[in-house]
Amino acid sequence: MLVKGTSIELFKEGFFDGVKRLEAEMVEKWQTEAGQTAIPVDVEGADLLYVALAGAHSIIPAAAIFNAAGENWTLSFFEAVNFGAFVGDPSKTKLILERIVNEAKRLKVKEVCVCECGTAYRVMKQLSGKQSFKVTSITEVHVRYLREGRIKLDRSELSGPITYHDPCQIARNAGVMNEPRYILQHITDDFCEMSREPKYNWCCGGGGGLVALGEETLDFRMKSASVKVDQVKATGAETLATACENCHTQLSNLNDHYKMGVAVKFLSSMVADALVP
Amino acid sequence: MQTLIYFILVPMVYIAFATFFIGTTIRLIKIFREPKHPTTLQIYPEKKPQWLWALHDTFLFPSVRRHKPMLWVFLMLFHICLLLLIIGHLELFGEFAIFQVIPHGVILGQGYVGLIIAISLLYFLFRRFLSPARELSVPEDYYLLILLFLIVIFGSEMDWARRWYEYDGMTVEEYREYLMSLLLQPYLPETVTESGHSFMLVLYIFFANLFIIFFPFSQSMHSFLSLPMNKLRRG
């Protein structure tokens, strides 16, 4: 009997096709070693399981960086975002979380790397319990690659002052605060902080997922986040980097509404663009 | 009238303390029995040692200091004076060498502690008539502050009369006698019930009893819960 959301086997074929199309897009920009699959899927025995969002922007740059670092990785069938957590339903949160945990166990990976999504990272990190794999955010993984010299970044790629917005779920609620700054120091000479200490950066106002749930909240979100706009404008930055999907959406909304005049970018895409082959 | 005075000074005190001990115990047990939160409630960046920072947050209110310095000053004054008053009242039960590290007469502060705490309470009360505190306040907030102010005013009056106006109609010794007698065999010395200040004492004890009864059902429970909450917050 066909039940919505449970017939995983049926969508695998379509998924593989989609991945192939993404691979074609990828190799245009980033060279892949001969014989290496640009985006490996369902690889048992991989070291790292990367859980992405349902969007090319979440998969392609990350894949480029994993390949450049020579990582033994595999892409997850599932998307990282936990809609159960967004709507506050504990049983659905658990259900969505367990799909990924079970896949990690089946593929016997050592590490589950969560994409740039605040709730996904926090739920995976703090609710998955004791497992044989460790949970990291993609920002932390990139810092590791930089430290170990597995990837090299070109400082001249980006121009203009850059500032960074800390997603609540990743920074204040989960502790990933120094890593993005370490990365940005390698990408640019012109990095400026929004406030004295990262913990004083305002929340974007996206409501931890409300952004993803519809346009009805747009008005309220714009009104309540005017303090964030002031903070961003005060830095004089041209690029606003962040590491969370919903923050990116909210900040883009704010950019349009308040005419902040910044380019809102994902940190991972900035790293991918700055990669030295 | 005599029975009313007796009721306030003896049975009501027993009722108050019983309600307080049973009430707070039950409430604390209920709270600590609740299931653990599935994730951590810690905020970052992490600061170690965590227990020390939890103490720092509990007793120095750094967030208040950053956002509302004036309120912070009065909060610190209020709580420090409260601590001094608690020490002073413990000394009504007997001599404790440890408190006499700095030698002083019973009830510290020469009357100024009561004055400062009374002014602080007025500040807390009046700020709740202005926005935004006004929109966020519930009746309990006002009742509690008014009750505390009445307790402080009647209690301090006895102290001020003794310290600043040389009133000796009712002394600390007689008060001690009454207080100690409550433990086994209640006895009301004549000066406690018949002196010029007796009405102050009776009203003071009446309002204090009300506060003690109200305590486990009010926000005053933050005195027990603030440290555990900050410990959760620090990890």
> If pLDDT is split at 50, 70 and 90, which confidence band does A34 have?
low
What percent of chain B has a predicted confidence (pLDDT) above 90? Answer: 62
What is the tens place of the pLDDT at every residue in B206-220? 999 999 999 999 999
What pLDDT is attached to residue B94?
Answer: 74
* CB-based contact, A89 to chain B, within 8 Å: no
DSSP letters for B19-87: HHHHHHHHHHHHHHHSPPPSS----SS--SSHHHHHHHHHHH-HHHHHH-HHHHHHHHHHHHHHHHHHH
Position B74 pLDDT exceeds 80: yes
> If pLDDT is split at 50, 70 and 90, which confidence band does B173 have?
confident
A173 to B44: CB separation less than 8 angstroms, yes or no: yes
Give the dihedral sign, CA A25/A117/A77/A9.
negative
Phi first, then psi, for residue A268 (nearest 5°) are -65, -35
Tell me which chain B residues have a C-beta less than 8 angstroms from the C-beta of A199: 44-45
Identity (one letter) of the amino acid at B227? L
Tell me which chain A residues have a C-beta less than 8 angstroms from the C-beta of B44: 171-175, 177, 199
Q: Token digits for B234? A: 């620090």
What pLDDT is attached to residue A5?
Answer: 64
Whether residue B139 has a cis bond before it, omega within 30° of 0? no
Rounded mean pLDDT, A228-232 = 93
A127 to B39: CB separation less than 8 angstroms, yes or no: yes
B43 to A174: CB separation less than 8 angstroms, yes or no: no
Rounded mean pLDDT, B95-115 = 79
CA distance A182 to A148: 13
Helical (H) or strand (E) element with A53: none
What pLDDT is attached to residue A197?
Answer: 87
Chain B residues with a Cβ under 8 Å from any Cβ in chain A:
38-40, 43-46
CA distance B114 to B116: 6
Tell me which chain B residues have a C-beta less than 8 angstroms from the C-beta of A198: 45
Mean pLDDT of chain A: 89
A168 torsion bin: left (phi>0), alpha (psi -120 to 50), beta (else): alpha
Lowest mean pLDDT among B55-69, B141-155, B191-205: B191-205
Look up the pTM and report it.
0.82
What percent of chain A has a predicted confidence (pLDDT) above 90? Answer: 62
What percent of chain A has a predicted confidence (pLDDT) above 70? Answer: 96
A205 torsion bin: left (phi>0), alpha (psi -120 to 50), beta (else): left
Rounded mean pLDDT, B77-89 = 92
Give the dihedral sign, CA A12/A17/A21/A27.
positive
Phi first, then psi, for residue B128 (nearest 5°) are -80, 0
What is the tens place of the pLDDT at every residue in A105-130? 999 999 999 999 999 999 999 998 88
**Which one of A126, A175, A198 has the shortest CB-CB distance to B46?**
A175
CA distance A218 to B29: 44
Closest residue, chain A, to B46 (C-alpha) = A175
Rounded mean pLDDT, A49-72 = 92
* CB-based contact, A98 to chain B, within 8 Å: no
Tell me which chain B residues have a C-beta less than 8 angstroms from the C-beta of A177: 44-45
Q: Which long-range contacts (CB under 8 A, 24 or more apart) does B139-144 make?
A: B140/B218, B140/B219, B141/B219, B144/B214, B144/B218, B144/B219, B144/B220
Of A6 and A234, the one with more pLDDT = A234
Rounded mean pLDDT, B61-74 = 95
Alpha-carbon gap: B41 to the closest alpha carbon of chain A (Å): 8
> If pLDDT is split at 50, 70 and 90, which confidence band does A4 have?
low
Question: Could you tell me how far CA B158 lies from the centroid of its own chain?
Answer: 17
CA distance A167 to A152: 26
* Residue whose pair of structure tokens reads 């001249």 in the numeric block: A156
* CB-based contact, A199 to chain B, within 8 Å: yes
